[in-house]
Chains A and B, each alone.
Chain A
């Protein structure tokens, strides 16, 4: 890749090269994602999910936008290309994608 200089971005993955290591990341994509789903002002957590948490349906709250929910899952699936650590949790929430409109999901 001498002609084009150092490789910085490839198929949406940002690439960072140091002396002895090469890293891939998607920090730009994550920032856009948080903004798009208005998650940029929520409280940050250090791990994606606690072992004792169980997910279920919340029948009392207002209906959620199922299209937006699916868009979120799709976006997170794309993010697993550089984030193996969130892989299992994305698969977890994916189970609820087929539920029709009425419910929201309790953490």
Chain B
């Protein structure tokens, strides 16, 4: 089980809100995905990515609970994020001046990272599958990511 999370900082030109995107896999198969405008206005790319990771985390926790019904217990579920600062933020419980305004609800990922349920890992932007859920892409990259998601032309 694994998740990818990405964010497009201030993608909305009018409201200046960021867009979260994420996709979740079980054993290499895409099982759920989301693209959603964030409710709060992020002040930095790190914050936007952090919010997105928290949303991804909640979805994975739900899937984890569903799997627990089938006696499948997963820990250290990786979430791939392309922002190192957001990863550090989830591992370090200290409040910095640039992060102290972030709403409490987004910090719940910290708890799960510390418990070892979720493992926030770095992935380079090229391998970031959730990129397709945050913004329009050029054709080449769009087709590349679409294939990695497991979408094919059938018939």
Q: With contacts defined as CB atoms under 8 Å apart, how many contacts are there between chain A and chain B in the complex?
A: 61
A95–B142 alpha-carbon span in the complex (Å) = 22
Query: Contact between B13 and A54 (Cβ–Cβ < 8 Å)?
Result: yes
B27 touches A (CB below 8 Å): no
Judge whether B151 is part of the interface by a CB distance below 8 angstroms.
Answer: yes
Q: Which residues of B contact A87 (CB under 8 A)?
A: 21, 33-35, 132-133
Encode contact with B along A32-65: 1 for CB under 8 Å, 0 otherwise. Answer: 0000000000000011111101100000000000
Q: Is the CB of A85 within 8 A of B151?
A: yes
Contact B154 A25 (CB under 8 A): yes
Across the interface, which residues of A come within 8 angstroms of B13, CB to CB? 54
Q: Does B23 contact A (CB under 8 A)?
A: yes
**For A51, what are the chain B residues with a Cβ–Cβ distance below 8 Å?**
135-138
Bound Cα distance A54, B23 (Å) = 25
By a beta-carbon cutoff of 8 Å, the part of chain A in contact with chain B is 16, 23, 25, 27, 46-51, 53-54, 83-85, 87-92, 95
Contact of A88 among B12, B19, B149, B151 (CB under 8 A): B19
Please tell me if B5 contacts chain A, counting CB pairs below 8 Å.
Answer: no
What separation, in Å, do the CA atoms of A98 and B120 have in the docked complex?
37
The answer for the CA separation of A38 and B138 in the assembled complex, in Å, is: 27
B contact residues, total (Cβ < 8 Å): 28
Closest 3 CB pairs of A and B: A49-B136, A87-B35, A84-B33
Give Cα A16 to B153, complex, Å.
Answer: 12
| B36 interfacial contact with A, CB 8 Å | yes
Chain A positions within 8 Å of B34 at CB level: 87
Nearest opposing residue in chain A for B136, CB measure: A49
In the complex, what distance in Å separates the CA atom of A87 from the CA atom of B14? 20
B142–A85 touching, CB < 8 Å: yes
For the complex, what is the distance from the CA of A95 to the CA of B152, rounded to whole Å?
29
Cβ-based interface call for B103 (8 A): no
Q: Are A84 and B30 in contact (CB under 8 A)?
A: yes
B101 interface contact, C-beta 8 A: no
B37 at interface (Cβ–Cβ under 8 A)?
yes
B155 at the binding interface (Cβ < 8 Å)? yes
Q: Tell me how far the C-beta of B48 lies from the nearest C-beta in chain A, rounded to whole angstroms.
A: 15
